[in-house]
Amino acid sequence: MDKRMSIDEVVDRIPSGGLIAIGGSSISRKPMALVRALARSDKRDLRIIVDVGGPDVDLLLGTGRVGEVIYAFVGFEVLGLAPHFRRARQSQTVRFQEWTEYTVMAGLDAAIKRVPFMPTHATLGTDVLRVNPSFKEIRDPFTEQPIVAVPALKPDVALIHVNYADIQGNGVILGDGHVDVLCAKAAKDTYMSCERLLSSEELQRFGRDVQILRVYSRGVVEAPWGAHPTGCAPDYRTDVRHLQDYLRASASEEGWHQYESEFVTVDHRQYLENHGGAEELVSRLKV
Amino acid sequence: MPIDPQLNVDEVIITTMARQLSGEMLVSSVTAFGSLAAHLAKRRYAPDLAVLSTPESGMDVTPMPTLTLGQFLTDVQQGIPLTMEDIFDAIFTDHFRIWINPSQIDQYGNTNITCIGDWYRPKVALVGARGIPEDTSHLSETFYYILNHSPRAVVARVDFKSGAGNGESRHGLDSHGAPSVLVTDLGVFDFTGPDGTMAVRSLHPGVTVEEVQQRTGFPVYVPGGEIPLTELPSPEDVRIIRDADPLEVRKLELMSGPEAAEKFVAIYERERQALHATYPRVGKFGR
């Protein structure tokens, strides 16, 4: 089946109020072309799941698309804190659930395995257990010892970005895998953007690096530089200069409006043009 | 800086961190200090360590502290690819070590990277507990470092327990995950005080107990007898650290303001060249 679609067709299929899992990790391989399209859409009250979030969550919060965030981490790593996340947390304008890296994975895994929860010792003794109403401390039925039940996370949609895909929806991930496979398997509908579409024959040469299996994907979008400004190893590194501009812009209302008009309310082609085009990006970011 | 000006504080801290590592363990590279400690340990003190190039992947590489190139390091050195499942399985089975740099640590070794103030109404929202709850419920050794020992960072009680320390936090947990060592710019501390509270193990040269008390948010337990001096780096330790970090990414963690911003840009502009100079392009994808 040919599953190619446009970025806008993906956004059309995302319901307001939907539970959306986003792959990647902080400033690495985030599906930013898809996220930007969602950020400029009129969707409301999206419920976002990220294991390790960064510019993805922050941008969606910045354009007011989000009702709730389930996260283990949201930040810009070496660049510092995520500005819109920080503001939203401090002003309590959005609901937040603090999870942890493994418990997000366990929640997705529970959804995949069609069980209601996964048990773990992680979060015992911490305040995560106190502030996260989704977790329940229960008794191990065999030993009566305390253990934490992590409920299944059942995303309506997963958004991921990969290096290569074929039109049937198989995807190759060459750098760190993060939690993309779990997101893809757990979600009802997985939409994947890729740096480049390859024939299925070419794709199968990547062997075990074919990590996203077509039975889990609903749509495929070819979007070169689709993770920018996050990195996509081994194709390109994180655009730290863009992220620094983002941080500066988000410090004032005026700056943010300017940023939105230049980099969010434009389509992906224009977005790349506004960076001086693909050649300019190659010279700055190819490794 | 209280340390002898002939010695660089970063090299003292990194060497001290390296000397805590032992055995055949995966060692994560999340920060420059953590990755250099792992590298130095493997070269000098714990040859069986399996050093990672990123927080989640690239086993058995020589780490190079970097802003954006961790995954590229995996590629050019053909590091063994790991998955997030591999990482958490190694944590749960106690085959993993990590140096955590918390925003706050308290007298019981509880740690905080989540927020300053109340979680529901934070004064400053930081990043979220990430994988610390997993570490503090499973690892038989947990390591922390703080570069600027102050009453704001080493506190009587953390504002939020992202990681479980000793005392009441051990409820439901066994000894795995309990805090082992804290290294700061003043000295080395463990948790052998009354009820598992923080105690002085050694002081860096020129540092007094009075200074430690002044710069700590609670009275630190001082065991009887003479307090040992922290063993200083040898010339060989210093050489290995400097060779492994030619761009001095480690210095960024000690800087702030315009000085840090300038250094940051300089590193970002030079790090691709440094990578290619050290490793020819023999990666898996032959680029």
Q: Could you give the 3-state DSSP secondary structure of residue B229?
A: strand
> If you average pLDDT over residues A98-122, what whole number do you get?
98
B54 touches chain A (CB under 8 A): yes
3-state secondary structure chain A: CCCECCHHHHHHCCCCCCEEEECCECCECCCHHHHHHHHCCCCCCEEEEEEEECHHHHHHHHCCCEEEEEEEEECCHHHCCCHHHHHHHHHCCCEEEECCHHHHHHHHHHHHHCCCEEEECCCCCCCHHHHCCCCEEEECCCCCCEEEEEECCCCCEEEEEEEEECCCCCEECCCCCCCHHHHHHHCCEEEEEEEEECCHHHHHCCHHHEEECHHHEEEEEECCCCCCCCEECCCECCCHHHHHHHHHHCCCHHHHHHHHHHHHCCCHHHHHHCCCHHHHHHHHHEC
In a domain, A44, yes or no: yes
Q: Within this chain, do residues A41 and A137 fall inside the same structural domain, yes or no?
A: no
In a domain, A1, yes or no: no
Q: What is the band of A142 on the pLDDT scale with cuts at 50, 70, 90?
A: very high
| Cβ neighbours of residue A101 closer than 8 Å, sequence gap 6 or more | A51, A52, A72, A73, B84, B88, B130, B131, B134
Question: How confident is the model at residue B29, as a pLDDT?
Answer: 82
Q: Within this chain, do residues A161 and A135 fall inside the same structural domain, yes or no?
A: no
Per-residue pLDDT of chain B (287 residues; tens, 9 = 90+): 455 556 799 999 999 999 999 999 999 988 999 999 999 999 999 999 999 999 888 999 998 899 999 999 998 998 999 999 999 999 999 999 999 999 999 999 999 999 999 999 999 999 999 999 999 999 999 999 999 999 999 999 999 999 999 999 998 999 999 999 999 999 999 999 999 999 999 999 999 999 999 999 999 999 999 999 999 999 999 999 999 999 999 999 999 888 988 999 999 999 999 999 888 765 555 54
Q: Within this chain, do residues A76 and A172 fall inside the same structural domain, yes or no?
A: yes
Q: Within this chain, do residues A140 and A161 fall inside the same structural domain, yes or no?
A: no
In B, which residues are within 8 Å of A180 by CB distance?
Answer: none
Residue A60's domain comprises 7-99+154-285
In a domain, A249, yes or no: yes
Q: Within this chain, do residues A145 and A218 fall inside the same structural domain, yes or no?
A: no
Mutate to test the interface with B, among A69, A90, A105, A128 (most CBs of B within 10 A): A128
In a domain, A2, yes or no: no
Q: Do A128 and B137 touch (CB under 8 A)?
A: no
Question: How confident is the model at residue B179, as a pLDDT?
Answer: 98
Q: Within this chain, do residues A27 and A146 fall inside the same structural domain, yes or no?
A: no
Radius of gyration for chain A, computed over Cα atoms and rounded to the nearest angstrom? 19
The beta-carbon neighbor of B68 closest among A73, A234, A240 is A240
Question: How confident is the model at residue B287, as a pLDDT?
Answer: 46
In a domain, A105, yes or no: no
Q: Within this chain, do residues A35 and A134 fall inside the same structural domain, yes or no?
A: no
Residue of B nearest to A131 (CA): B119
Q: Within this chain, do residues A126 and A248 fall inside the same structural domain, yes or no?
A: no
Q: Within this chain, do residues A89 and A173 fall inside the same structural domain, yes or no?
A: yes
Domain boundary among A124, A151, A178: A151
Q: What is the ipTM of this complex?
A: 0.96
The model's pLDDT over A213-222, given as tens digits with 9 standing for 90+, comes to 999 999 999 9
Total domain count for chain A? 2
Q: Are strands B104-106 and B111-112 parallel, antiparallel or unpaired?
A: antiparallel
B256 touches chain A (CB under 8 A): no
Q: Do A122 and B133 touch (CB under 8 A)?
A: yes
> What is the third-level CATH fold of B9-278?
Glutaconate Coenzyme A-transferase (3.40.1080)
Question: How confident is the model at residue B1, as a pLDDT?
Answer: 45
Question: How confident is the model at residue B257, as a pLDDT?
Answer: 85
The model's pLDDT over A43-78, given as tens digits with 9 standing for 90+, comes to 999 999 999 999 999 999 999 999 999 999 999 998
A93: domain CATH number is 3.40.1080.10
Q: Could you give the 3-state DSSP secondary structure of residue B162?
A: coil
Residue A238, token pair as written in the block:
């994180």
Q: Do A121 and B75 touch (CB under 8 A)?
A: no
In A, which residues are within 8 Å of B255 by CB distance?
Answer: none
Would you say residue A204 has pLDDT above 50?
Answer: yes
For chain A, give the mean pLDDT: 97
| Cβ neighbours of residue B234 closer than 8 Å, sequence gap 6 or more | none
Q: Within this chain, do residues A263 and A237 fall inside the same structural domain, yes or no?
A: yes
Domain ranges of chain B: 9-278
Q: Within this chain, do residues A163 and A122 fall inside the same structural domain, yes or no?
A: no
